[in-house]
Structure 1
Amino acid sequence: MIASEDVPTCSLSSTATASGEEAGAIPGCTEASLIAEGMDLPASIEDTKISLDLFLNNNFNEARSRLKPWVSSSMYHALGYGTISYLQAIMTFDPDDITEAIKWVKNSIEVSNRFRRHGNMMESMSKMVRKPNYDNYTDAEIHGELCYAESILERALITFIQDDNLISFIKGGLKIRSGYQSYKNCTQMLRHRTWKDQYSKMHFESGVRLGHGTFNLMISMLPKKVMKLLEFIGFSGDRDHGLSELDSGSKLASLRAPLCASVLICFHTVATYTFGTADGDVEHSKEVLAPCLKKYPTGVIFQYFDGRIEEITGNLSSAIDKFTECIASQQQWRQFHHICYWELMWCHAFHLDWLMACKYADKLCKESRWSKATYYYQQACFMSMCPDQTEQTKKNLNAMFRKVPDFKQRVAGKSIPFEKFAVQKCKKFLEHGIKNTLAGLELIYTWNGFVIIGQKEELLVPIVNIIEATIKDLNKTKGTDVCYSDDYGLAMLLKGLCLKSLKRPSQAEMCFQEVMEQEGKILYNNYLVPYATMELGLLYLEHSRLEEAKLFLLQSRSKKKFMLENKLHFKVHSAINNLRAQLEAAGNNNTTTTQDLDSLDDELMEGENGQDGAVAMATEDAIASQS
């Protein structure tokens, strides 16, 4: 903790300010006061850039120490310190870290707000009839607006993890809107200002591109009707524009260039695999990453991306080596190890090394505070895949499955979807046993791992053998096992995915259709039929059977109230964008097809609990409290 008296503050008198400031500026830290203290705007940008370089080279404590003396007087030092605190909070989910991050992000908002242009009533009225003359703004004022926008966004994102109620979630959204409006102002400043200082413009431009690029990518991943609602209140969500903005920002020799590169690489290598159909541009990610690795060869963030690229291209041994090196490269920021443990867990699971996967799930369970229910469930599922289980092992497994519901939590007033999935699955396993459930392979599928495994035949063949042996055992219990349709449906879904990757589309098609025939017989795995329907649509899309792809994607999205429903919505939204592009390229963009696609993509994600009314009431309360 840093007490307020530990840092220098501006002591410029109000009389001096009145005589020396631009009209409309509020008293506080001015460019003159910073120069008097030896830290003008260019100096503060350069010093913060040095601190960011230290941070990206794993010198986390040194980066904080360099920023500390100026956190109450320099907007860039305040933003840098707040950003580091914010990153630590979202990594640990520790209440103390969250409280600390909120303190320093609030400080960044206050400091940057002193520098922003605060017009009087006459100026506010004149904006209604003509555009402001941004040439009258000082460099400090325009950078103050940019730092303010970034700080507001960080504060909003912390709100999402601070409290476990819906009101806080809506408040966070309203804060994001405030930050987005500031970014729009910054865009106008960039376009309509006559820039005398190219250095100042470069750093400002990279910040604008970072904000707009990130916003556009985030919103572009949402279903169309959600996008329309957000666009109605001023947001935009154009994926290509977002990627272009971040790519341009990453090429500038600016403070925010590595941040632009990080968001761009993260989108291609992580976000599209988690929320979409794994259609990120991996080759472009390699190009963007190369200069970052050259500049920060041992920096954990870029080392992680290097390992992630190896993982998603199926080079698992290389990925394991890189994630292990990433862990060994620093010990100060131990929370970052958890991300590497997560990836190592999946790399070993893809290799069917279930014991090593268990090891990393156990490490996460003991050290990470994100979702112990998820970690316990993963550990138990991986253990259930180990052959030749003793009676003691089975007892330990049952004990682990019983623990999972005890760790279920709520974030932003709602349960984590995967935790709900885990609790439901635990109920099935405890009541009916774990034999022939393929729980570990099911986990891989739910986290989109088959798109990675499917790139290497040597990874697929052992999995096909396991599935075939399981189907053979299951067929012996047909008619006597109450969960036969659940387990058989899962086995056929996984078999279809493997056959699809092995370029046997006709056989994969039959597998997905066989899962769909189990509808009405499945007791627990209620996600299987909609997911099999979606996978059939994706299979047709891959082979340019566009009308059939449209039919089954529509059908999958029309189903309601099943486990992991939102994950399917995101994937179908991504698939629909690809389908629309192919239809247009094929000259088949007829009115009926367009209307069908729009009706599919226009359905608002209602959530698994149907809380539309609660959201509306919460929104009203949040708006009232903001007012």
Structure 2
Amino acid sequence: MAGPDSPQQQVEEKAEQIDDAELAFQGINMLLNNGFRESDELFRRYRTHSPLMSFGASFVSFLNAMMTFEEEKMQMASDDLRTTEKLCESDNAGVIETIRNKIKKSMDSQRSGVEIVDRLQRQIIVADCQVYLAVLSFVKQELSAYIKGGWILRKAWKMYNKCYSDISQLQEACCRRSSDQQGALASDQANHNTSAESSGRVTEEVLDRLKGSVSFGYGLFHLCISMVPPHLLKIVNLLGFPGDRHQGLESLAYASESKDMKAPLATLALLWYHTVVQPFFALDGSDSQAGLLEAKAILQKKAMVYPNSSLFIFFKGRVQRLECQINSALASFQDALEFASDQREIQHVCLYEIGWCSMIEMNFEDAFRSFERLKNESRWSQCYYAYLTGDRLRKVSLTRELCVLGVVEVLYLWKALLNCSSSKLQLMNQVLQGLDEQSSLGLKHLLLGAIQKCLGNIKDAVQSFQLAAQDEYGRMNNSYVQPYSCYELGCVLLAKPETLSKGRSLLLQAKENYAGYDFENRLHVRIHSALASIKEVVPH
């Protein structure tokens, strides 16, 4: 009777049984289910096992750096990413443990298929590493770092584009080959040599995973660049970046349904787009419900996979807030806060939303507590949190109308008025009507117009926007009021065919006649989206 295998043999057999793609997928799922520490341990245990597991370890290191914003961890993440990059670019990267175990007993024809997959996988990983290194470079907020980061991103985009094209061609060839083989398989089902695996060809399943892997970065590039304001597009085009919103969304949707480790991240990216980016930049005009159906469908589909994920519960709260279910949103953000007990940055985004929901409800004490904690704990946007905290403190001032004006102004600029209930909007309207401060009249009319628009009183909204656009006295104090008023008035006029031309003229006026005012970039993004929507309806 044979004796037990040696420990070394057991390790080798175990290594052969490990599917690094599946293991990496499990590691990311573990991370999203609040198992940050466990995910980190898993990836680090197998980081020398394959380029994919090395990237997983580096990605978790990168997330840790971005969540803590600590210099030491940012340097560690940078080192880890470069280590993974060097591993992928080395001549021996294709024959480290996983690949060696898979091909050591194969024939030369089999080796070619594995090597194609390995080469593409390593190129995608290098591009991913380049993107995260660029982000770490941007965080330094230095001119040289921005320039360096831009060129790093350019290199990453070229790699994504090439891999995406190569994989798409391989998929087409695989489909043609599959059709051609139908007759052969039917005539000789016992002949296993016709399979893609034994012939050394790349299987459809592997190509689908690779397409999902590259589609995450490829889609994010398209989506993010599509939202760049026109006056910055010259710089972006100089670097060779594209920007197709629909292509970006399609690629992320493909990635989210794949078996690649980045599939859960693509799902989060889609939720982020539908619940944060789309409403904030008004990418679908005044349609505040745009994207909500997609977000709700994603959350419902993933509920069983991520039942207690702080991030998925957070996005559930975002959907509820956009549906004006503020009490339900507060409950979801509070749940997410508790589930993220070991993840400080996730706690902070939950606190941020709790603060905003409290402000929407005009519950200033709870809002103050959230923003005060963020001001003291967060390493990001401390000046912004200090402003919000101070803004809430001003509620004790004798000039109640000016205090409410400040609150409504912030809610307007951050596209949160749409989330307010009719009763709260009526209360804001009533208070602002009693404001007579001469220097704030333009701002007052802009905000009154926005409130009336939310309430559906379009005629009153137009009148208020016109008064705001004509205000010259308060222009020095609130330089953004006039361009924003032109934009708002233009958007209202776009709704009717007979006033569409006038609306377009006002949008162009807001875009071209004003410069150097506060919140200029975000308005340019909104104007760009509004003008693009006109072209979709009435092509030029």
User: Are 2:501 and 1:573 aligned?
Assistant: no
CA 1:144/1:326 → structure 2, altered by over 3 Å: closer, same or farther? same
Q: Which residue of 2 aligns with 1:140?
A: 118
Q: Which residue of 1 aligns with 2:210?
A: 204
CA 1:438/1:294 → structure 2, altered by over 3 Å: closer, same or farther? same
CA 1:38/1:568 → structure 2, altered by over 3 Å: closer, same or farther? same
How many equivalent pairs are there?
478
Distance in 2 between residues matched to 1:583 and 1:139, nearest whole Å: 45
Q: Which residue of 1 aligns with 2:500?
A: 546
Specify which of 530, 533, 541 is matched with residue 483 of structure 2: 530
Contact persistence 1:537–1:550 (CA under 8 A): yes
What does 1:323-342 align with in structure 2 at a 5 Å threshold? Answer: 323-342=333-352
Distance in 2 between residues matched to 1:498 and 1:334, nearest whole Å: 35
Q: Which residue of 2 aligns with 1:505?
A: 458
1:289 Cα deviation after fit: 2.1
Cα RMSD after superposing both structures: 2.5
CA 1:507/1:40 → structure 2, altered by over 3 Å: closer, same or farther? farther
Contact persistence 1:557–1:572 (CA under 8 A): yes
CA 1:164/1:252 → structure 2, altered by over 3 Å: closer, same or farther? closer
Q: Which residue of 1 aligns with 2:6?
A: none
Q: Which residue of 2 aligns with 1:459?
A: 424
Q: 1:55 corresponds to which letter in structure 2?
A: L
Structure with greater helix percent: 2
User: Are 2:366 and 1:356 aligned?
Assistant: yes
Distance in 1 between residues matched to 2:334 and 2:215, nearest whole Å: 33
Specify which of 248, 253, 265 is matched with residue 254 of structure 2: 248
Contact persistence 1:112–1:145 (CA under 8 A): yes
Specify which of 163, 176, 181 is matched with residue 158 of structure 2: 181
1:246 Cα deviation after fit: 1.4
Contact persistence 2:51–2:88 (CA under 8 A): yes
Q: Which residue of 2 aligns with 1:603?
A: none
What does 1:247-266 align with in structure 2 at a 5 Å threshold? Answer: 247-266=253-272
Distance in 1 between residues matched to 2:475 and 2:245, nearest whole Å: 38
1:106 Cα deviation after fit: 1.9
1:37 Cα deviation after fit: 8.9
User: Are 2:131 and 1:153 aligned?
Assistant: yes
Q: Which runs of 5+ in 1 are unaligned?
A: 1-34, 119-133, 390-432, 478-483, 590-627
Contact persistence 2:442–2:474 (CA under 8 A): no
SS in 2 for 1:294: coil
Specify which of 343, 368, 381 is matched with residue 391 of structure 2: 381
Contact persistence 2:212–2:258 (CA under 8 A): yes
Q: Which runs of 5+ in 2 are unaligned?
A: 1-10, 95-111, 175-200
Contact persistence 2:124–2:214 (CA under 8 A): yes
SS in 2 for 1:308: helix
1:211 Cα deviation after fit: 1.6
Q: Which residue of 2 aligns with 1:77?
A: 53
Distance in 2 between residues matched to 1:543 and 1:115, nearest whole Å: 63
User: Are 2:518 and 1:563 aligned?
Assistant: yes
Contact persistence 2:221–2:248 (CA under 8 A): yes
CA 1:440/1:350 → structure 2, altered by over 3 Å: closer, same or farther? same
Contact persistence 1:116–1:140 (CA under 8 A): no
CA 1:228/1:521 → structure 2, altered by over 3 Å: closer, same or farther? closer
Q: 1:144 corresponds to which letter in structure 2?
A: R
User: Are 2:469 and 1:491 aligned?
Assistant: no
Distance in 2 between residues matched to 1:437 and 1:218, nearest whole Å: 35
Contact persistence 2:28–2:262 (CA under 8 A): no
The normalised TM-score by structure 2 is 0.83
Q: 1:189 corresponds to which letter in structure 2?
A: D
Q: 2:533 corresponds to which letter in structure 1?
A: N
Task: Describe the superposition over 1:384-421 as per-residue Cα deviations: whole angstroms up to 9, x where unpaired.
Answer: 235769xxxxxxxxxxxxxxxxxxxxxxxxxxxxxxxx
What does 1:112-511 align with in structure 2 at a 5 Å threshold? Answer: 112-114=88-90, 137-161=115-139, 163-193=140-170, 194=174, 196-224=202-230, 226-227=232-233, 230-231=236-237, 233-277=239-283, 280-386=290-396, 435=402, 438-453=405-420, 456-469=421-434, 471=435, 474=436, 484-485=438-439, 487-511=440-464
Distance in 1 between residues matched to 2:44 and 2:61, nearest whole Å: 12
Q: 1:566 corresponds to which letter in structure 2?
A: N
Percent of aligned positions with the same letter in both sequences? 24
CA 1:551/1:137 → structure 2, altered by over 3 Å: closer, same or farther? same
Distance in 1 between residues matched to 2:49 and 2:121, nearest whole Å: 14
Q: Which residue of 2 aligns with 1:101?
A: 77
Q: 1:553 corresponds to which letter in structure 2?
A: L
Q: 2:358 corresponds to which letter in structure 1?
A: H
Distance in 2 between residues matched to 1:521 and 1:321, nearest whole Å: 40
User: Are 2:471 and 1:518 aligned?
Assistant: yes
CA 1:98/1:220 → structure 2, altered by over 3 Å: closer, same or farther? same
CA 1:385/1:489 → structure 2, altered by over 3 Å: closer, same or farther? farther
Contact persistence 1:73–1:111 (CA under 8 A): no
